[in-house]
Amino acid sequence: MTSHSISYYENQLRQQIMNNLYNENFISLQNYVKELIQENTDNNKNITYAYLNIKRELVGSISNNDDQTL
């Protein structure tokens, strides 16, 4: 697994998100990831890591330090 490959797929996912904002032909991120994996079976793990990273960016996460400030 290379960070370059993960970064590439993160950019692909970001581009798809932007396309969804501007086009009427919406495709869910999960379906897009499934298509990417079908087209690039050798990079299954990298695509999955990229998806999780993008999902984390979109949803956010709370660390233990953030819990203490609530």
Q: What is the pLDDT of residue 24?
A: 80
Distances (CA, A) of 60 to 2, 26, 35, 36, 53: 24, 23, 25, 24, 10
pTM to 2 decimals? 0.78
Per-residue pLDDT of the chain (70 residues; tens, 9 = 90+): 588 999 999 999 999 999 998 888 888 999 999 999 999 999 999 999 999 999 999 888 655 554 444 4
Nearest to 42, CA basis, from 7, 67, 5, 69:
5
Q: Which two tokens stand for residue 5?
A: 């490959």
First to last CA, the chain: 37
